[in-house]
Amino acid sequence: MAKNNGDSEIRKTTGAPLLKFDFDFVEQQAALGLSYEQLAIACGCDLKTFNKRREISPDLQEAVDRGYRAKDINDVINALYQKALKGDALAQIFWLKNRSDKND
């Protein structure tokens, strides 16, 4: 049976101690677009272990989700920027309005 002691580490009452995940690292790697399998490898475990830990650790799943959201936002920003550079007037207006210091 797993117990959540309130920090980033979840301990079992028996057996070997569980791997401790660095949530900032997981978030950064997810923001690069790594798959669950790639995230597991980057964290030093297999996919089965990573998925099991995501189920029992809301903090781990939230770190993954934050990273994936950041990746999505960055992709949209880059696509808009590329359209603006290619001469799309609407994209240019939107880009400049949202980049200005005074969003009025």
Domain ranges of the chain: 2-99
Please give the Cα distance from 36 to 92 (Å, whole number). 36
Q: For the whole model, what pTM was predicted?
A: 0.74
Instruction: Decide: helix, strand or coil at residue 86.
Output: coil
pLDDT per residue as tens digits for the range 46-100: 999 999 999 999 999 999 999 999 999 999 999 999 999 999 999 999 989 888 7
Query: Would you state the pLDDT for residue 5?
Result: 44
pLDDT per residue as tens digits for the range 4-43: 444 455 555 566 677 889 999 999 999 999 999 999 999 9
